[in-house]
Amino acid sequence: MDQATSFASFWSAQTPFVANFALQQLRLWVNSSPWFADTDNAKWFDVPAERLRQMQADYQREWYQLGLQLLSRKPFSFTDKRFASDNWSSPLFGSLASYYLLNSHYMMELLEELKIDDEKPRQRLYYLVEQAIAASAPSNFFASNPDALEALVKSNGVSLFNGMLHLASDLKEGKLRQCDSGDFQVGRDVATTPGDVVFENDLFQLIQYRPQSEKQYQRPLLIVPPSINKYYILELRPENSLVRYALEQGHQVFLISWRNFDESCAGKTWDDFIQSAVIQAIKVTQAISGGQQLNCVGFCIGGTLLSTALAVLEAQGEKDCISSLSLLATFLDYSDTGVIDVFVDEHLVTQRERTIGGKDGPAGLFRGQDMGNTFSLLRPNELWWNYTVDKYLKGQKPRTLDMLFWNNDSTNLPGPMYCWYLRHTYLQNDLKSGELECCGVTLDLSSIKIPTYLVGNQDEHIVPWRSAYSTSKLLSGKVRFVLGASGHIAGVINPPTQNKRHYWTNEQTPVDPDIWMESAEKKPGSWWNDWFAWLTQHAGEQRPAVGQSGNSEYPILEAAPGRYVKG
């Protein structure tokens, strides 16, 4: 959505807060913003005069105390990470940070007073104002960042020169890199578990991994990773690879490696992803494993694709091919999509359908960089502005972290597939309706009757954990829900060997997720332990490990990680 006129052009967190004036600034900006063009906001700004006077008096009192601190040259201290260094304790820079935080606080307090009954306009207003506040922090500007100025002096200007090189490189790539592209190499540092590509088409490659144990369970594990970014989020370094850990526990592992789509595949649809990718991968895995039932795992949109494929198979009469289903941080019910909902409306979806979706024109690609930048801005102070400050103002090399490297390794999506997904999930929440057509059949998620393991993450900003929990009421099989700590990536990639974090379990799955949480048991360490214990119950008997990948019908095409992940 075009936000050419941002709130920052009406208000600055560096100027003193005047309640009446700030309210009028909000009113003028809202009336100029396309996000609120179709909303009736006449009553939003009817804040009682007495409340405005009280806010102004409270602000003046705190403003006065900060002024006294500045004049008396007392050092400032902050809990905010942006102003954590000793340089911010000085009167000049400390007062800049303090006044910024004070003004920002009262602007957000003013938002609380607005009479906005509808949730979506309220979310949008909060999101855009928070973006403006985050962008206007004094730490984001060279002249008002004492750490950047100190680095300039100490390095004789080298820090600023390096910062400009970082900026030029990121502009060339079209994205803010949170990890240098040369820090890791796919196949050398990440995605290193031995395996072989045993099938490929123009959508994906199927990797069969070589055994890491003397015995293996009878039923293979098929993993469907997100089609956004590369598959190796589940196959990072050996010490935090879910794939390698599963192999070491005695599971046969097959995994889909999605293609980074180019113009030759711009017309691919959601149905293509279901029938020619996920269902095709299921059939190839069964053929190689001798017709065994599979344990299937989906992560994020990979879980949405996988669940859709299983419902299609049920409708097509192909039953009993799956032993269990595991969905990691996955939406099936899109009633509450968290902050992402602020972006999605009919106007956006229609515009995408007409420009890249093939409606009334040619199909195009949805660029992975756009998705990556959007996700980063969902948490601007943790995933955007801190990197711009460190890289561009201070000239520092970003930290070397495999998860951040993967986060920057985005993939394009075919426009028709992306637009179908956007309309029927985030916009219309059709997957759970029981009426949606896909691959020539009607989707009915309740037809999935296999045992299911659901994972949510407590600090999620992409798939809120209560939304992940709601899947328990859409499927008909016995469901186990586990809540992990941390966020979308770190909550999932949490190997037991590192003994980090904690998780919650509950043998019951009541309708209300908060009731589930009230009686859930908190356990230390990784939820992987609980999951693999559950998975073993559905994996069949153990037998000597299969040493040869593929078979006569599906011979080895190349060694893992394969060409597609490097494209």
Which tokens hold the place of 170? 């990121």
Task: Please choose, from the candidates 189, 229, 226, 168, the residue with its C-alpha nearest in 3D space to the C-alpha of residue 408.
Answer: 229
As beta bridge partners, residue 325 has 296, 452
Residue 419 appears among annotated catalytic residues: no
Q: 410 Cβ partners below 8 Å, 6+ apart?
A: 175, 228, 229, 367, 368, 369, 371, 372
User: If you ran DSSP here, which 8-state letter would residue 186 be given?
Assistant: B
Q: Rounded distance, CA 487 to CA 233, Å?
A: 14
| Catalytic-role residue among 300, 321, 419, 438 | 300
Residue in the structure block whose two tokens are 């930290």: 399
Cβ(134)–Cβ(385) under 8 Å? yes
Chain centroid to CA 115: 31
Work out the burial of residue 120: count CB atoms within 10 Å of its CB; fewer than 13 is exposed, 13-18 middle, 19 or more buried. Answer: middle
Question: What Rg do the C-alpha atoms of the chain give, in angstroms?
Answer: 26
DSSP state string for 197-228: EEEE-SSEEEEEEPPSSSEEESS-EEEE--SS
344 CB neighbour count, 10 Å cutoff: 20
Q: How far is CA 438 from CA 204, 222, 241, 430, 434, in A?
A: 20, 22, 33, 11, 11
Instruction: List the catalytic residues.
Output: 300
